Amino acid sequence: MLEDGAFSVLTSLTVLSLSYNNLTWVPPKLPVSLQELYLSHNKIKNVGRDDFKKLVHLKVLDLSGNCPKCFNTPFPCEPCTGNSSIQIHPLAFQNLKKLKTLVLSSMSLTSVPALWFQNMPELEVLHLASNFLQKEIATGEFFQNLSSLEELDLSFNYQKQTYTRYLTLSPNFSLLVSLKRLYIKGYIFKELDTLHLKPLFALRQLTVLDLGLNFIKRVDLSVFQNFCNLTEIYLKENKIFPQATEKSGFLKPFEKEDNPPIIYSDNIKQSSYFLKQLCTSYGKALDLSLNNIFFINPNQFKGFGDIACLNLSSNGLGQAFNGTELIYLPNLKYLDLSFNKLDLTSYSAFKELPNLEVLDLSYNKHYFLVTGFAHQLLFIENLPNLKILNLSWNDISALTKFELRSDSLQKLDFKGNRLGLLWKN
């Protein structure tokens, strides 16, 4: 049991972490000197008006995991009675004028009062993931006091047993004039086009948009051309299918069941999956990994001439690349096609990508294991700027023409193959 005023004598204390301590209330008489306070994953059900009144120097406050959202969590989770949300007094944060980071994830919140942020002129990071805030995302009244906000996480705010058709964003998103990073994973919706993201088009500082794990089936990729400074686009782990026709700019799915998907709130694992740093260093990046794009129609990438990095890993791609698939991506420098089953026999493969510097073809062993198939890697000599080539874990044991010609290649990753047998043959 924590005694009243237990930390009051620590007058120089700036960082205090009391997470995972089964606390049932905010400890009183905390040192005024505190700049960072972590109270996550306790059993706090109420936050009073004066609980943080004297913490005028506080810059970071983490209250996440109190009255957690426990639906489908892959770890032990104890919600508050009746799955109720934590009760926070409307004026609880009034004295936190220096606060820069506020974490309110997994607290079963159904509303976010604008009054909470009335006196937070310096707030830069706000995490509201794993709550029940779809209605708040649609109305967005609390956005009016967040003009300095740079990072907003609204992930996993889906409603149980629902699979909405569209993403509904409040027009008030346009008030977030300083926003740089926006995460809306796990909202769960079927279709995405220009109308649905329109409130974000005015955000000139926005560089990162994450719409992963939403079970999106249809997406109009041209919608992202309306953003002026977007550099990282995440559509990872959806259900996007190949473009069905050349007349439409949409990626259309074959019709499948519309049952609500079952996911869990990923409020412990942070966004560790982000594109490799080398990839994003080249410029604008698009992540379409872990979807159902099993073949590429060149037209689906029209208008993406500025894309420098493309991730298509883990899509079940099995087509024979012949140098036409990515003709609308002439400035591509980094291409990740790992974990597919590509046919790489064509001499013309990737010839439409003269600026390509990094090519990841690891874990594409499907056709390398087919007996009697024409195995060759002659396409490499058509890539005049290729510096890094990853051919690892392909079980390569035979090549019809054993030649790797390149005047530019600096790094070759060939581990996980059968080099001894290859040389013997």
List pLDDT tens digits, range 25-35.
Answer: 999 999 999 99
Q: Yes or no: say if 160 and 71 are a contact pair by the CB < 8 Å rule.
A: yes
User: Rounded to an integer, what distance in angstroms lies between the CA atom of residue 421 and that of residue 220?
Assistant: 46
- Whether the full predicted model's pTM is greater than 0.85, yes or no, is yes
Helices (H), 228-336: 277-281
Q: Specify the domain boundaries for CATH 3.80.10.10 within the chain.
A: 1-132, 276-425
Which residue has better confidence, 222 or 372?
Answer: 222
pLDDT at 318: 92
Alpha-carbon distance values, 113 to 52, 92, 142, 189 (Å): 17, 11, 6, 25
What is the DSSP secondary structure assignment for residue 90, as one 8-state letter? T
Architecture label for domain 1-132:
Alpha-Beta Horseshoe (3.80)
* Percent with pLDDT over 70 in the chain: 92
Whether residue 103 has pLDDT greater than 90: yes
The CATH number of 276-425 is which of 3.30.420.10, 3.10.20.30, 3.80.10.10, 2.60.120.260?
A: 3.80.10.10
Q: How confident is the model at residue 199 (pLDDT cuts 50, 70, 90)?
A: very high
Strands 125-127, 101-103: pairing is: parallel
Predicted confidence (pLDDT) per residue in 376-409, tens digit: 899 999 999 999 999 999 998 888 777 789 999 9
pLDDT at 260: 53
DSSP string, 158-183: PPTT--EEE----GGGGG-TT--EEE
Whether residue 14 has pLDDT greater than 80: yes
User: Rounded to an integer, what distance in angstroms lies between the CA atom of residue 233 and that of residue 231?
Assistant: 7
Alpha-carbon distance values, 331 to 74, 215, 360 (Å): 41, 29, 17
Helix (H, G, I), strand (E, B) or coil at 46: strand
pLDDT at 342: 93
User: Rounded to an integer, what distance in angstroms lies between the CA atom of residue 394 and that of residue 354?
Assistant: 25
Predicted confidence (pLDDT) per residue in 218-265, tens digit: 999 999 999 999 999 999 999 999 876 444 444 444 444 455 555 544
Helix (H, G, I), strand (E, B) or coil at 393: coil
Closest to 358 in 3D by CA, of 305, 282, 289, 300: 282
pLDDT at 275: 62
